[in-house]
Every structure is written in structure tokens, then in C-alpha cells.
Amino acid sequence: MRVYADLHVHIGFSNGRYIKVPSSKTLTLENIIKTAKDEKGLNVIGIVDFLCKDVIEETDKLLDKGKLELKDGSLYSERLLIIPAAEIELRFCSNDFHCLVFFEDYEKLKDFRKIIKTYFNQIDFSCPVFRGQISDFERIVSSFGLLAVPAHAFTPYKGFYSAAQRVEEVFRDIEVFSIELGLSADSKMVSYLCDVQKRSLLSNSDAHSLKNIAREFNEIEVENVSAKDVIKSIKENRVVANYGINPKLGKYHKSYCNRCNSSFNLKSQNSALCPFCKSRDIVIGVEDRISWLYKTENPVEKPPYFYTFPFELVQGFGQKTIKKIIDVFENEINFIKSLNNGTFKNYNIDENVVQKLVRFINQDYTVKFGAGGHFGRIIFE
């Protein structure tokens, strides 16, 4: 069977306390679950703040109330599987990067937290900083049999490839089965990279708000809908499709000058200067960074990458229009699938909206590139 999974979602507020600052009080565990099930149409969601004590306590309360179910180590809310995960900040050669770890068993998560908490100053907030060596992290991850995935690997801030050139430079004692692309890259852009040839690619939302859940997600072949089986499928390269925004829209796609606010491509890694004002105060874009990494001449074919429709980056798609579309298609994933598999129909949606959607299907639009922390825009001229 196949499931739709967004495996990188943040909690903002839990157990009466902010977990991620700044954030919203509406970004709670219960609201995330409801949005993922009813509005987005996900089967699996990975929540990456499960090292926080408040999140664990809130989860236990929901289990006691019968709002969540624990079965063979996996957490469920009716048909939705919730995979406990953590986003952890690591350091390699004075450069910081983020790494996701996923847990097959909720109770083992609690044991993991007891052992690893001595390596953190503030484990009860989002993205805690690991104070040990990479080898310490590997030893603990290995002892618990966890899946470790470099998060938003190609982005300039806390991305893995802003710290290293190859996975094996950093992780020598654990096997890295998968890499998370991030919003400014897709599988086509990275297909020639040596690091991705034998590894699955994940496209996740990294959502910091309810509306952004499932803006990127994965279609995964699984034997059973359990945390253990989803993680097993990722390790075995059974991600059959990725769904995400056009990477040109990602807020770090192009390189960017903070001095003159220009976006551009750099000519080489050795000349990191703004071509317009010659400033060195630049943010290296994902497109440039990927071009500098080690490549192979015989790439392995990766699963298809389908573009989602980024409502907030297209003029004319307000909340009323979005609600109408979701009501018609039952959920957002059904809508996205219809745009990509040729089954989209009007269904009494406003004609101006339909025209834009048809043009999106036919890729008849212009993209204003994202850069320097600013998302791009889709323009229908």
C-alpha cells in the first residue's frame, strides 16, 4: 500500500508553553493532527519536537483521554500515524547543521531522551543544540537503531552541505539512508550528486504553521502503516514519488546580496562576490551550492517529483478560494494529485481560478525567483 507522509512538522505551543519562538498558540499537537487528517489528507505525519518534555507530557495526556492510541509502539489518531521525531543541531568543523532523527517506538523515545539530555543545555525547546561530538551522536543513534536524516540539506542556514561536501566526511559510524531536500531544491536538481545515488530523497514541509503542513510531502510504499514500516521503507528506498513547490520559488534558490538586494548565480565557488556591487555579504543560493558538490556521470534515476500548488505565492488565492477547493476535492492532497495526474476538472470553481490552475498544469506561468530568505512568486501574465 502507499501512504502520503509529511515527516517534518514543528509544534509551536505545547502543554501551555511555547516550544518554538516566535510561533503561534494555534500550532498545537491537536491542531496539527486535525489539520493533517481533515484538511491536508495525510496518512503519516512526523513531528520533530518530541524531545521536549511538554510534548511528551501532552501526548501522554491525550493517550490517557483516548484521543491517541499506542499500538505496538506506534502512535495513532484514528487513521493518521504520528511518527515521533526530533530536529537536532550538530556541529562539524565549526559549522552548524540540522539533522532529523525518527523513532520506531514511542516508549524508546523516552529512554533516548534520558540518555541524550545531558548533551543539551535546552532540550525542551525546538531544535536543541547537541554539545557532544559527532561520534557521540552516532554512538547513541546507533544504539537505539534510529533513522538519521540531514535536514533541509542544501539550504545556506543550518543545511548539511553548508557544513560539509560529502555525507561520509561527517557520518562515519552510522549509515545515512536518506537526505531531506528542502524547499529550494527538487530531485532533478540533485540527481547527479554522488551522495544521493543510493539514498532516498525526502520532500517535507518543515511547517512552522498549520497552513504550511503538506506543502511538501512524500508518497511511500509500505507493508503496514506503522512507524517501523515507514522507516523501513525509507531505508529501502521505497519513496515512490516526491511532491513539493517548484524549487525556483524557494526562499534560498538563488544567491543573494544583502547589501544591494540583488539575486544572481555565482560564477564559481572561489569568487563569492556580488556581481553588481562586489560585496562579500551574500547568501549562497541552493542552486549554486548544488553545482559545487561532487557529481557522477551515470546517475541513478530517482522517483518523479510533482509540483504542489503554493496558494500563498499566487495572487488571487485567498482563504475563501482555498476553502472552496478543499471542499470540492475533500482535501489538499486530492487536489494536488488531480493537478498532476490529468484528472482535474472545473467542479464549479470560479472560472478565473480555473484558468490559472490549467495554466499551472501546463506550466504556462512565470516564476519570480526566491532568494535571500524571500519566497518567489508565480505570475500569470
Is pLDDT at 167 greater than 90 in this prediction? yes
Span 161-173, mean pLDDT? 97
From residue 4, give the alpha-carbon distance in Å to each of 13, 43, 225, 337. Answer: 25, 5, 11, 11
What is residue 121's predicted lDDT score, i.e. its pLDDT?
86
For residue 346, name the pLDDT band (cuts at 50, 70, 90): confident
Express each pLDDT in 67-100 by its tens digit. 999 999 999 999 999 999 999 999 999 999 999 9
d(CA 103, CA 85) in angstroms, rounded, equals 6
Express each pLDDT in 11-32 by its tens digit. 999 999 999 887 888 999 999 9
d(CA 120, CA 131) in angstroms, rounded, equals 6
Average pLDDT taken over every residue of the chain: 95
Supply the pTM of this predicted model.
Answer: 0.97
Cβ atoms 59, 47 nearer than 8 A:
no
Is pLDDT at 284 greater than 90 in this prediction? yes
What is residue 268's predicted lDDT score, i.e. its pLDDT?
85
For residue 255, what is the enclosing H or E element? strand 255-257
120: which strand partners?
Answer: 130
Span 232-243, mean pLDDT? 98
What is 54-92 written as a DSSP string?
A: HHHHHHHHHHHTTSSEEETTEEEETTEEEEEEEEEEEEE
The Cβ-side half-sphere exposure at 22, using a 13 Å CA radius, reads 0
Query: Across the beta sheet with 263-264, what order do the strands follow?
Result: 263-264, 255-257, 282-283
The residue type found at 149 is: V
Widest Cα–Cα separation across the chain: 61
What's the grid cell of residue 82? 504520528
What is residue 209's predicted lDDT score, i.e. its pLDDT?
94
Is pLDDT at 48 greater than 80 in this prediction? yes
What's the grid cell of residue 58? 501532552
For residue 3, what is the enclosing H or E element? strand 2-9
d(CA 307, CA 183) in angstroms, rounded, equals 11
What is residue 267's predicted lDDT score, i.e. its pLDDT?
86
What's the grid cell of residue 20? 518554538
Span 274-297, mean pLDDT? 96
For residues 218-252, one letter each, b for 16 or more C-beta atoms within 10 angstroms of the residue's C-beta and e for the rest, the string is bbbebeebbbbbbbbbbeebbbebbbbbbbbbbbb
Is pLDDT at 129 greater than 80 in this prediction? yes
For residue 166, name the pLDDT band (cuts at 50, 70, 90): very high
Express each pLDDT in 50-60 by its tens digit. 999 999 999 99
What is residue 9's predicted lDDT score, i.e. its pLDDT?
98
